[in-house]
Amino acid sequence: MASLESLDLTTYPLNSSAGSWFDSYGRFAADLLHAQKSGQRLPRLVVIQAPSRMLVASAMNLGFSAQAIFSAETGATQIPLESFGTLALGSVIQVRFQWHQEDQKVPLKTRRVVTGVLKEFIPQRAGARFPSIRLALDSKLESIALTNNLASLYLMPSETPLGQETQTAPAEGVNLERWGSFFSQQRPTACTFTYFSEFEREISLTVSDHLLLSQYLQVPSLSLKELARLDRLTDDEHIHFVNSYEMLRKMKTMEADISHLVDPFSFIILDGNAAVADLVGNSLLREKVKICILDSSNHERFSDALANISSEAMHLERPIEPLQIQTIDEHLGLFAERWF
């Protein structure tokens, strides 16, 4: 699969209105993920002081999404059918059915994807044409015959969201293998705590010019939410598992309930002054790479955020050696301070 470096990275405009600043934040996130994979030392605390928090976290999530797919990392392991009976009960299994076209008048293809906990493996018996499995999807059981209608079976990480969905190819003639890989990748990357309603409005915007669209998925446009592969941390819409977002008060009031959901993510984006002020010192995030986005245009909680960043940075150090992670473009007036 192509690497991020081999593709033509130009800009990440949203409806041709966003400029190189948006691209710069996306590249910075991609560099962080690339550094993690290559074993480089990662900063424990990153502080970005932006003219406005608007779209900064979205740009970074898009950069994380792009780097994740081009690095071809996934926590899923494909399981040959003949080996399926050796899997331990309680394993998380994902069944990806074949793509098919139900309506000849509508040329789009769909496939069903089911993710559940393995409760029973039933070998092929007399009178049965195929072996079968029973999966627990939260409160219900799903029985699936292991027939030729299945495209593939995967052993998934334990933190993978359970459920089922129908994936739809966005246009006739798209590369179904690429499309399926993109929307089934299991690579927990970044979790964003943010101003919930404002963030959801941002990620509903349409992206019409991005390397993921033109050179990988080969479709004209997708929403920023789809392209960044964002899903709500506590209420998943999809079974892919790359980037998540949540309202910051969830982390404040439900730490014990959602800490296991946050745990798989290496990068935590604190989007805005309130998120930084409330969560930068949170003990559950201590081992994460925390990316703090300060909103210079909003004076609310700004001093609190600065004070708490200073307190957190006291336990860390600034790098002396040159960094391999590229900086955000300083000629654009954008800065990222880092502590290790």
Residues 316 and 207 in one domain: yes
Please tell me the predicted confidence (pLDDT) of residue 147: 84
Residues 147 and 229 in one domain: no
Please tell me the predicted confidence (pLDDT) of residue 325: 62
Residue range 231-242: average pLDDT?
89
Please tell me the predicted confidence (pLDDT) of residue 6: 39
Residue range 220-244: average pLDDT?
92
- Of 168, 196, 222, the last residue of a domain is 168
Residues 18 and 131 in one domain: no
Look up the pTM and report it. 0.89
Please tell me the predicted confidence (pLDDT) of residue 10: 36
Residues 328 and 189 in one domain: yes
How do 92-97 and 150-156 pair as beta strands? antiparallel
Residues 236 and 89 in one domain: no
Residue 338 has pLDDT above 90, yes or no: no
| 62-98 as b/e: b if 16+ CB within 10 A | bbbbbbbbbbeebbbeebeeeebeeeeeeebbbbbbe
Q: What percent of the chain has pLDDT over 90?
A: 52
Residue 152 has pLDDT above 70, yes or no: yes
Residues 17 and 53 in one domain: yes
| Token couple for 253 | 């009031």
Using 50, 70 and 90 to split pLDDT, how confident is the model at 12? very low
Residues 143 and 248 in one domain: no
Residues 265 and 319 in one domain: yes
Whether residue 44 is contained in a domain is answered as: yes
Using 50, 70 and 90 to split pLDDT, how confident is the model at 156? very high
Residue 16 has pLDDT above 50, yes or no: no
Whether residue 63 is contained in a domain is answered as: yes
Residue 218 has pLDDT above 90, yes or no: no
Residues 29 and 129 in one domain: no
Please tell me the predicted confidence (pLDDT) of residue 323: 57
240-293: per-residue pLDDT in tens?
A: 899 999 998 877 777 778 888 999 999 999 999 999 999 999 988 989 999 999
Compute the mean pLDDT over every residue in the chain, rounded to the nearest whole number.
86
Residues 58 and 88 in one domain: no
Give me the domain span that covers residue 88. 77-168
Residue range 115-134: average pLDDT?
84
Q: How many CB atoms lie within 10 A of CB 28?
A: 22
Domain count, the chain: 2
Residues 87 and 151 in one domain: yes
Using 50, 70 and 90 to split pLDDT, how confident is the model at 230? very high
Residue range 91-98: average pLDDT?
94
- Of 168, 197, 225, the last residue of a domain is 168
Whether residue 145 is contained in a domain is answered as: yes
Residue 110 has pLDDT above 70, yes or no: yes
Rounded to 5°, angle at Cα 249 from 247 and 252:
130
Q: Can you tell me the distance from the alpha carbon of 15 to that of 1, in angstroms, rounded to the nearest whole number?
A: 28
Give the chain's end-to-end CA distance (angstroms, integer): 32
CATH number at residue 190: 3.40.50
Residue 17 has pLDDT above 60, yes or no: no
Residue 88 has pLDDT above 70, yes or no: yes
| Helix, strand or coil, per DSSP, at residue 133 | strand
Please tell me the predicted confidence (pLDDT) of residue 334: 67
Residue 140 has pLDDT above 80, yes or no: yes
Please tell me the predicted confidence (pLDDT) of residue 333: 58
Residues 159 and 285 in one domain: no
